[in-house]
Amino acid sequence: MERSSFTLDLGAIRRNTETLLRAAGGAELWAVVKANGYGHGAADVARAALGGGATALCVATVNEALELRAVPALDDARILVMGPANEREVGDARAARLELVAASGPIPEGVRVHLKVDTGMGRWGLSELPSPTRSAVGVMSHLAAAESDPNFTNLQIDRFREATAGLDHTLARHVANSAGTLRYPGASFDAVRCGIALYGISAFGSDPTLDGLEPALRWESYVALAKRLETGDSTGYGRRYTADEPAWIGVVPVGYADGFRRDMTGTSVLVDGARRRVVGTVSMDAIAVELDGEVAVGTPVTLVGDGISVEEHARVADTIGYEIVTGLDTSSARAKRVIQDA
Ligand SMILES: *Cc1c(COP(=O)(O)O)cnc(C)c1O
């Protein structure tokens, strides 16, 4: 029994890539694998997405890009760094054949750049597009509310279309994230940059299968101890759960250090296939689940998978799926990583 085991399904990543390519209606799909591939493992996700038809990778930092570039299978991949780069990093990017985003200040030379115009995100981005330099290969923007605000999203798409209308057609125009790709056909332009949907997680906090997407990650553990609480006994720090009648709880050896956040108390997991509530305070290395009787030590627990969704955990924690998965500790000594291709 592994205390914390993450299984990444490369087949799901590939199929999600194909689904997004269809939604993008002829535009290229660039796979966003920043933050260790949203916690799923950047290099593995990158290879699967490229296998499914993605034509470039996007990350947030030059170091993330350099790590991918060092993977033999990604030696030739197009890699776009979307966040800012300092002077030393511009040199590294040039040497590693990365592409950068120019969103303020002078446009770097000798390295391929994408000019970023701010159409309403109010974060990175130039207020006016400068005339493209020789190093420019793309023009881009970023949507602020494609998951929630059609009026503003359409306004951003219109602004982008106008700002880029007269430009040389060799410049790749790209603006859409996952929500934009799935809901705004007019946002696809020449390429879309999809992250969350690639992993089979909903950008809308709803059921990803409604958009034809398959969750790619499973998270499993086991019951390490089944314990009977007598009336008045409590479990965990702060005594936040007290039995008001005799009750069984299972102690599962994962906690907030593994990414099972403290604000996920009250969410559900599967114990041997049955839905059970997480009760009491989440510890660093353990959680407690309500049982309806004693179970054997070693009984499997599914924390994500088989209908236990990242979206559901996010709702309980009052956050978004993005924050749940980027917080999972999938790649340290605490976890076992399994790669499957189903
Ligand atoms: C993270 C990011 C994306 C991907 O967004 P998703 O909602 O995960 O698809 C696209 N573009 C930029 C600039 C980003 O920072």
Do the strands 56-59 and 112-116 form a parallel or antiparallel pair, or are they unpaired?
unpaired
In the prediction, which pLDDT does 316 show? Answer: 98
Please give the distance, rounded to the nearest whole angstrom, from the Cα atom of residue 293 to the centre of ligand 1.
45
Please give the distance, rounded to the nearest whole angstrom, from the Cα atom of residue 239 to the centre of ligand 1.
40
In a domain, 16, yes or no: yes
Q: Kindly name the residue from 38, 222, 237, 241 that is annotated as catalytic.
A: 237
| Shared-domain flag, residues 84 and 166 | yes
DSSP code per residue over 177-230: -HHHHHH-GGG-TTEEEE-GGGGT--TTSS-GGGGT----EEEEEE-SEEEEEP
In a domain, 4, yes or no: no
Do the strands 136-140 and 172-176 form a parallel or antiparallel pair, or are they unpaired?
parallel
In a domain, 234, yes or no: yes
pLDDT score of 79 more than 90:
yes
Residues in CB range of 282: below 8 A, 6 or more apart = 236, 255, 256, 260, 261, 262, 264, 265
In a domain, 197, yes or no: yes
CATH number at residue 139: 3.20.20.10
In the prediction, which pLDDT does 30 show? Answer: 99
pTM above 0.95, yes or no: yes
Boundary (domain end) residue, out of 170, 203, 236? 203
In a domain, 212, yes or no: no
Per residue in 206-255, pLDDT tens?
A: 999 999 999 999 999 999 999 999 999 999 999 999 999 999 999 999 99
Candidate from 17, 21, 32 with most ligand 1 atoms within 8 A of CB, to mutate: 32
Show the ligand 1 pocket: residues with CB < 6 angstroms: 32, 34, 82, 142, 177-178, 193-197, 203
| Shared-domain flag, residues 36 and 100 | yes
Please give the distance, rounded to the nearest whole angstrom, from the Cα atom of residue 59 to the centre of ligand 1.
9
Over residues 66-91, the mean pLDDT reads: 97
In a domain, 3, yes or no: no
227 is catalytic: no
In a domain, 1, yes or no: no
Per residue in 90-125, pLDDT tens?
A: 999 999 999 999 998 889 999 999 999 999 999 888
Residue type, 81: V
Taking the CA of residue 177 as reference, the ligand 1 atom at the shortest distance is 9
pLDDT score of 178 more than 80:
yes
Kindly report the protein residue whose alpha carbon is nearest to atom 6 of ligand 1.
195
In the prediction, which pLDDT does 1 show? Answer: 81
| Shared-domain flag, residues 94 and 138 | yes
In the prediction, which pLDDT does 126 show? Answer: 86
| Shared-domain flag, residues 198 and 224 | no
In a domain, 209, yes or no: no
| Shared-domain flag, residues 291 and 227 | yes
Task: Return the CA Rg of the chain.
Answer: 22
| Shared-domain flag, residues 124 and 63 | yes
| Shared-domain flag, residues 232 and 309 | yes
- The beta-carbon contacts of 261-266 under 8 Å, at least 24 apart in sequence, are 261/313, 261/317, 261/324, 261/327, 263/316, 263/317, 263/318, 263/319, 264/313, 264/316, 264/317, 265/240, 265/316, 266/316
CATH number at residue 249: 2.40.37.10
| Shared-domain flag, residues 173 and 236 | no
Number of structural domains in the chain? 2
| Shared-domain flag, residues 36 and 165 | yes
| Shared-domain flag, residues 187 and 224 | no
Boundary (domain end) residue, out of 203, 237, 255? 203
| Shared-domain flag, residues 290 and 191 | no
| Shared-domain flag, residues 190 and 232 | no
Full domain range(s) for residue 54: 10-203
Kindly report the protein residue whose alpha carbon is nearest to atom 3 of ligand 1.
177
Boundary (domain end) residue, out of 140, 172, 203? 203
